[in-house]
Amino acid sequence: MNTPTTDGRDGRRAPDPALIRPMEERDRPAVEALLYALNVAGEAYTHDRNLAEDAGRMSLVESEKWVAREGGTILVAEADGMVVGTMILAHVSLDFNVRPSLQARSYIMELAVACTHRRRGIGAMLVAAAERHARDQGHCALLLNAASGNDPAIALYRGAGFETYSLEMIRNLVPT
């Protein structure tokens, strides 16, 4: 007999909330919708997101070009038979200012989870998949950015072990 855990379960590991897998062609509409929703949410923080009707499609197309050129992967999180999350991970080589042994890095370009499936660990699963991929590539670091004020995303990343590395600042030269 399994001993109940402190959360009332019978001691067995809870099933993962989603299956993380490479994006397939059939996933395009869902991934495009997630990327568009990411732009809409990001607008509240950055006030510069592309909100055109085809913004999700364009984001995916441009990300695919980057991944094809530089390396990386596009993953989806599938739950309840639906794509409910996505992550675009790119390989990057930093410029000459970084020691050569530290130049190979992976960069989480986009990470989105459907509103209906947030706070279930899916974002953390996508971040863990990014880390596994980066390690498998022999990369020395995993980078990302989060908009200032996006506290849920920042908490997710800090919980996964990310630390502040640099501070990106902007001065808009054109009135918004």
Rounded CA separation 16/137 (Å): 25
Rounded CA separation 32/110 (Å): 12
Looking at residue 54, its amino acid is D
Domain ranges in the chain? 19-159
What is the model's pLDDT at position 15?
Answer: 77
Looking at CATH, the fold of the domain delimited by 19-159 is given as Aminopeptidase (3.40.630)
Tokens of 168: 């990106």
Q: Is 110 helix (H, G, I), strand (E, B) or coil?
A: strand
Q: H or E stretch including 31?
A: helix 28-46
What is the model's pLDDT at position 104?
Answer: 81
What is the model's pLDDT at position 30?
Answer: 98
pTM of the model: 0.86
Rounded CA separation 54/70 (Å): 24
Instruction: Report the DSSP pairing between strands 82-93 and 72-79.
Output: antiparallel
What is the model's pLDDT at position 4?
Answer: 36
Give which of 140, 142, 17 is closest to 73, Cα–Cα. Answer: 142
What is the model's pLDDT at position 9?
Answer: 53
For the chain, give me the number of helices (H) and strands (E)? 4, 5
What is the model's pLDDT at position 19?
Answer: 96
Q: Which residues of the chain have pLDDT under 50?
A: 1-8
